[in-house]
Amino acid sequence: MRENKKRKVYILLTRFPDNGAKVIHAMTGSFYSHASIGLEEDMNIFYSFVVKGFIVEEITRYIKPDREPFPCQLYELEVSENVYNAVKRIIQFYERRKKKLSYTKLGVVMSLLRIPLKQKNKYICSQFVAEVLKRAEAAKLKKSTALYLPGDFKKLSEMKLVFEGNLESFIAHFRIQQKPCMA
């Protein structure tokens, strides 16, 4: 009998030094203001939404000599091969459609007010992560994906904290090759 191989999906929580982070902290008490999702294949690549829309985040690009490293936490979600492949397909679906997708500031406000708002092709970072987890059946979500904020992923029973520090120490801990900085 063939063993059912377990795979890992990661949720990276970060705090960027911007006004959005301050507002989220003030309204929720959550320290982290950004959520992204990644696959075990490449710990340098995570997927999310920012004001510019859907992005593929290359973590090493956030490290700059003149900038303090951003605080972060990494959560691990162990899933079956089938669920892992579903997560991967869903992310690829978003990536192929990225020109049609955008960020929603209204979605942030409504989420902070705990009013679920789903807009066609518009997401906030944590809503996107929650959508991927829900569609892939990777985690049991207890509320609308539109209500998820970054700090909510810590509360999911399936999540396991595997790293806490800053992005610079994250890169060192996981031995991620830092690409040369382009000026």
Q: What is the pLDDT of residues 52-84, one digit of tens each?
A: 999 999 999 888 888 888 899 999 999 999 999
Is the pLDDT assigned to residue 180 strictly greater than 80? no
Q: What is the pLDDT of residues 98-128, one digit of tens each?
A: 999 999 999 999 998 999 999 999 999 999 9
Q: What is the pLDDT of residues 120-164, one digit of tens each?
A: 999 999 999 999 999 999 999 999 999 999 999 999 999 999 999
pLDDT for the residue 181: 52
Give the residue among 101, 103, 116, 102 at the shortest CA–CA distance from 148: 116
Q: What is the mean pLDDT of the chain?
A: 91
- Domains and their CATH numbers in the chain: 6-173 (3.90.1720.10)
Q: Which residues contact 139 (CB under 8 A, 6 or more apart)?
A: 77, 133, 156, 158, 159
